[in-house]
Amino acid sequence: MENRTDNLETPKLISFIIPCYHSAKTLPFVVEEIERTMQALPQYRTQIVMVNDDPKDGTWSVIQQLCHEKTGRDGICFARNFGQHAALMAGIRRAQGDILVCLDDDGQTPACEAPELIAAIENGADAAYAKYEKKQHSGFRNFGSSVNEKMCEILLGKPKELYVSSYFAMRRFVAEEVKRYENSYPYLLGLVLRSTTSIVNVPVHHRKRESGTSGYTLRKLFGLWMNGFTAFSIEPLRIATKMGAVFAFVSFIYGIYTIIKKIINPAVPMGFSAMMTAIIFFGGMLMLMVGLAGEYIGRTYISVNRAPQYVIRETTGAQPDGAPAKRRGNETDDARADSDSPRTDAACADGNVRQAGTCGEELRKDPEDLC
């Protein structure tokens, strides 16, 4: 009698990445909803990576508690606030899934609809973005999003019909391409757009915020726009060049007009006001263009000096069930597997490790059903 071995295919791993910012009250609900949703999909295994982008509040304590309660949960705590996109980069580097799903920590991006994004990837797309029929943001945030959409079309070459949001999924190879970016100013949309053109939209319901307020101020939104457009496009420089050419041509025509006017009517006085207006206008345009060029030069200088995308103060959590331990930078397999003792090191984007302490407060609320 021959011995036969059943070749059972290992279930695919889905990694959920949650950048966290002042979300101690809402994060447990999001994690519980993810796991409840994925229980209905036995063909997949689940990993949840939570990245705390501000060690000053109690979110890190909540993440530690969640990671100690169950395997398949990982936590990362930054040494200071580095921004949502830096948190996503850290989560992507930690994630091991065949498909990665990124969503918000406030519950507005419903985890119960993640299977729709996963299905779009399984059907052949390389990346899938949630498209909201009606966004439950403030008028200010909605205006900022519309401006961002239009500028992405002009400067990053985003297809006009493609809607982008903070709720999206990607294949493993796209994540690997994203991880290769080591400069100081990550911008996820730019990284995804330069990795693939097979991107689709999936209709998703957008919830109202149950707790807290958005962490994006006008200054942060403007900084995010500048980051994306100067880090992944030279189109602003080309626009400045075109504007310079147009203004030079207009100035030349105006000069000819002034000369002809003086020849035809010598009694016409030379306009001091018009001259000062022209000087101030063109001087302002020159300063704007020089400042834009300086922005590129400054970012290049910072990147050459290897300023980190982020600094990790502490990590906690274990590998997802059935997933082999992997080395990432200077992380060891033993440290990754130790879920009972949170590791207290700090790893930069370049792999350097520094010793550090702990941060956080205590969990205050139990998860409840959201869907």
Model confidence pLDDT, tens digit, residues 158-208: 888 888 888 999 999 999 999 999 888 888 888 999 899 999 999 998 887
The confidence score (pLDDT) of residue 362 equals 33
Residue 306 backbone zone (phi > 0: left; psi -120 to 50: alpha; other: beta): left
**Confidence tier at 338 by pLDDT (50, 70, 90):** very low
> Which residues touch 58 (CB under 8 Å, ≥6 apart)?
24, 360, 361, 362, 364
Question: May I ask the CATH class of domain 12-232+307-355?
Answer: alpha beta
Structure tokens belonging to residue 115:
């299977």
**Confidence tier at 344 by pLDDT (50, 70, 90):** very low
**Confidence tier at 279 by pLDDT (50, 70, 90):** confident
Q: Give the three-state DSSP class for 337.
A: helix
Report phi then psi at 232, rounded to 5.
Answer: -130, 10
Alpha carbon distances (Å) from 222 to 151, 154, 264, 281 = 12, 16, 50, 24
Structure tokens belonging to residue 143:
């205006």
Order of strands, sheet of 73-78, starting from the edge strand that comes earlier in the sequence: 199-204, 127-132, 168-171, 99-102, 12-20, 44-52, 73-78, 312-317
What is the pTM (predicted TM-score) of this model?
0.68
**H-helix or E-strand spanning residue 313:** strand 312-317
Model confidence pLDDT, tens digit, residues 56-71: 888 999 999 999 999 9
The confidence score (pLDDT) of residue 264 equals 82
The 8-class DSSP code of residue 268 comes to: S
The confidence score (pLDDT) of residue 326 equals 38
Give the whole-angstrom CA distance, residue 187 versus residue 227. Answer: 7
Average pLDDT over the chain, rounded to an integer: 76
**Confidence tier at 339 by pLDDT (50, 70, 90):** very low
Judge whether residue 36 has pLDDT over 90.
Answer: yes
Judge whether residue 51 has pLDDT over 90.
Answer: yes
The confidence score (pLDDT) of residue 223 equals 66
Give DSSP secondary structure letters for 195-220: T-S-EEEEEE--PPP-SS--S--HHH
Q: Over pLDDT 90: what percentage of the chain?
A: 37
The closest of 337, 284, 294 to 315, measured between CA atoms, is 337
